Structure 1
Amino acid sequence: MSEALLLDQAITAFNRETGLVLSKCWSNKRSPEDDDAAIQLHTHGIKYNVETKRWVQQASVGSLSAQYGRMPAPALLVADYVNPNMADRLRDAGLQFIDTAGNAFLNENNLFVFIKGNRAPTSQSSTRRTTRAFNASGLKLIFSFLLEPGLVGETYRTMAAVSGVSLGTIGWVLSDLQEKGYIQELGKKHIKSLATPIDLLDRWAEAYPEKLLPDLDLGLFKTQFQIPWKNIEPSVLEGCWGGEVGASLLDHYLSPEQGTLYLPKDRVKELVMNYRLQRVTKYTTATPETIRICEKFWNGFPEMSDNHSKHFDAAPDVLIYADLLASGEPRNLEAAERIYGQIKDRLQVD
């Protein structure tokens, strides 16, 4: 389904469910062919700036909030389908939306609409499929591209060595990314490069918490320290701090309250013994004395430039950014936006 068709179907469903009238409208900078056309609620004179999204329930609310916050107000998310759980989460976050099933949340200029529970259209349910590039293996490869955009033009063997992804996976991930416009081929030699790196970053950060992070979680551990990140040196064991601690090392803006440590799986036992860590149950609430350990899934970039961390103990900026968004905490979203600006500058230069 094209973005234009998605928008048309969502408008039709909203009008049918509410009796209100939404319709497309265009400013001088827009045209009827523009997928990002604004839409207007005629009875209330509200003109919304629109962002279309598929598979919203696979995105973190934090990543959606970050993208939503960059749009001119009032902003409206137009989705293929929003399930009841995600509808509640979007409402709680103040993110206005409509979808093709007639579910909606609008809260603007004394207008309040909240509809959830409508099922996805049958035709849509039968044709939806997960984009292969954004499953766990694909996300690992894309992560490497976001750190080193030039890697897209390297050999498959180089990509595999850097990303840790099998050679057999690389071909179909590249094909999928090219089909969706994230990768382009230039010149007679068809040299590959990232066509829309910022869009790819946004899509990666959306998918990471749902599709890759759960597979990396090695558990929550209790430490003997009130501030573990001031006592534990992960780089000695080839590890690094992500999340709030990583952000504080990169930007010095956020005061961390929780620690997330990325570490090779075969070094976890050594870390536990060296610092006398104790694994706690998954039902235990994280505190400043606990740290979350996740598997480090990348191999490093020995032949490339630096890994975009200003501190030896900090994870790559892209990963820290995604961790902050996944938390959904307002303080972390603010810090994430600062790091996003740095990543954007880097990717545009590259």
Structure 2
Amino acid sequence: MIKPSAIAINALALLPAHIKADFVQNEGVNGGIFTDGELRLIVSGEEYGFYVEVKTIHRKESLSSLFADAAPNTLLICNRLTPYLVDICIENGVNFIDNAGNVRINNGALHIWIESQQTRQSQKDLNLVGKSNKLGEGAAKLLFVLLSNPDVLNFPYREMAEYANISLGMVSKGLGTLQAESLISLGKTRRILDAERMLSLWIESYRLSIRPKLGGIRLQLEGEWQDIPMEDNDFWGGEAAAEKLTQYLHPQELQLFTRQPVQKKLAQLKCRPNPEGNLWLVPAFWGDKLAWSETSQALLAVAELASSKDSRNIEVARMIHEQYL
């Protein structure tokens, strides 16, 4: 017998007092699923046994290897699961105890469902009902660049300004605001301190500070969005960006960012202007030095989906958050 891992110790320590747990971690067993140990739970005098997998979970892919072997008498012990990953466990019959105090067990005879306060707060954040902090437009643009490429934080201020397409003075002001909020450190070594809270602030600031000033033009697209001619400096946002990342959402409202002059791109699209049209052609708001990445696309997708207030869009935004951000 070997000493249980820190994940198992922390998770089982958070069980309510009326649930007794006896965990024996296996030694020398490898290769099998749910072979890390055996857990005995005692609830109201009754004993229930489970074969255990101790595993760190960060995204759906980390869970998928468990699905085929999940059974009423198996159980996952892991780090804190996000609400999205909790839903995945429930859908696939994976019993779990995580080290934030969340428990979901259903073996036919024993039913336990415990949701920690930490998870409820996370659910609020993912539903975008968090604090209503607002950055100005320039600081919000800087935030987008720092989340897209954290290395930019260590660039000279003048170069940061070029990446974010803002003034040099706005770089200084924006960094000061982020430091005051304990999101970044501007000490001898500049670094990001709280990327998750920066992401929440980006979503809110995009809706309040960037989106209303995007401008552009609404067009009526008659054909398929996949057939739109794309140049190297064209970028999908919103639902189309989400579809490219997840293959889960059939886009209805389209948002296309371009670094070309809008009139030039308009001539390529051959779409007629329509204030109620389904395609929003928008000038890119960031600098052309920013190298495009899946993270950049995910940031644009999540922010626009969240601003729609559509429940399905928000669910897809949550998926993108878990998989890419």
- Is this a same-fold pair by TM over 0.5? yes
TM-score (structure 2 length as normaliser): 0.58
Within 2, Cα distance between the matches of 1:332 and 1:168?
36
Q: Residue 213 and residue 334 in structure 1: after superposition, are their counterparts in 2 closer, same or farther (change >3 A)?
A: same
TM-score when scaled to structure 1? 0.54
Correspondence list, 1:298-313, <5 A: 298-301=286-289, 307-309=292-294
| 1:326 corresponding residue in structure 2 | 307
Counterpart in 2 of 1:233? 229
Q: What residue ranges of structure 2 are gaps of 5+ in the alignment?
A: 1-13, 16-114
Is 1:234–1:241's contact at 8 Å kept on the other side of the alignment? no
Structure 1 contact 66–337 (Cα < 8 Å) conserved:
no
SS of corresponding position for 2:236: strand
Bigger radius of gyration among the two: 2
1:185-207, CA deviations, whole angstroms, 9 ceiling, x for partnerless residues?
45xxx111110011001111012
Q: Match for residue 182 of structure 1?
A: 183
Shift of 1:260: 0.7
1:181 Cα offset (Å): 0.3
Q: Does 1:166 align with 2:147?
A: no
Identical amino acids, percent of aligned pairs: 22
Counterpart contact for 2:257–2:283, Cα < 8 Å: yes
Over 3 Å counting, the alpha-carbon distance change for 1:263 and 1:66 in structure 2 is: farther
Query: CA shift at 1:136, angstroms?
Result: 0.6
* Structure 1 residue 199 corresponds to structure 2 residue 197: yes
Which residue matches 1:124?
none
Query: What letter is aligned with 1:268?
Result: V
Residue 249 of structure 2: which of 251, 254, 258 is its match?
Answer: 254
Alignment of 1:57-76 (within 5 A): 67=125
* Cα root mean square deviation, aligned: 3.2
Q: 2:142, 2:131 → 1: CA distance?
A: 27
Q: Deviations over 1:148-202 (max 9, x none)?
A: 112112110110121111111111111111111011145xxx1111100110011
For 2:305 and 2:123, how far apart are their aligned partners in 1? 12
Partner-residue secondary structure (3-state), 1:212: helix
Separation of aligned partners in 1, 2:131 and 2:242? 31
Distance in 1 (CA, whole Å) between partners of 2:310 and 2:252 is: 11
Tell me the alpha carbon deviations over residues 240-262 of structure 1, each in whole angstroms, 9 at most, x when there is no partner.
11111111112212121221111
Kindly tell me: are residues 301 and 198 of structure 1, through their superposed partners in 2, closer, same or farther at Cα, counting changes over 3 Å? Answer: farther
How far apart, in 2, do the equivalents of 1:321 and 1:78 lie?
A: 15
Which residue does the alignment assign to 1:154? 155
* Residue correspondences, number: 214
Q: Does 1:270 align with 2:264?
A: yes
Checking the alignment, whether the CA contact within 8 Å between 1:224 and 1:276 is kept in structure 2 is: no
* Helix, strand or coil at the partner of 2:228: coil
1:295 is matched with 283
SS in 2 for 1:294: strand
For residues 218 and 211 of structure 2, the distance between their equivalents in structure 1, rounded to whole angstroms, comes to: 14
Contact 2:127-2:314 within 8 A present in 1 as well: no
